[in-house]
Amino acid sequence: MVKKFEFGSSRLDLDIAGNTFSISVADAGLAERLSRFGEEAIERSQNIRESEDVARQLAEACDFCDRTLDGVLGGGASEKIFSGREKDLFERIEVMNFLIDEINAFRAERLQKYSPNRAARRVKK
């Protein structure tokens, strides 16, 4: 009998507001983009609190989220997701949180296959 190996998929398929996106969670640039998003989001939230022009800061924060979504999901993703909707920072934050949570869950599931506990469980069988 021939033993067979198949590569597992490192692609994560997501349905966001009726739009399907597929991203590679193994992409080294993905982690960098999400890390940069987190750092800049913290800085922007501080600026909004200190700003006298809150409306402009909120609009810029929405644009920042849109650029990040496009960078992670592909060009035009934010337009597809928020088509026909008003600019709402909280909606964008919800989508970003969903995206980050799903990526983290996918990675954790894949990495669990290689955890030391898995080897210990095998020995006990």
Average of per-residue pLDDT across 15-44: 90
Average of per-residue pLDDT across 42-47: 80
Q: pTM value? A: 0.80
**Mean pLDDT estimate for the chain:** 88
Q: Percentage of the chain surpassing pLDDT 70?
A: 92
Average of per-residue pLDDT across 18-46: 88
Burial 67-88 (b: 16+ CB within 10 A, else e): ebbbbbbeeebbebbbeeeeee
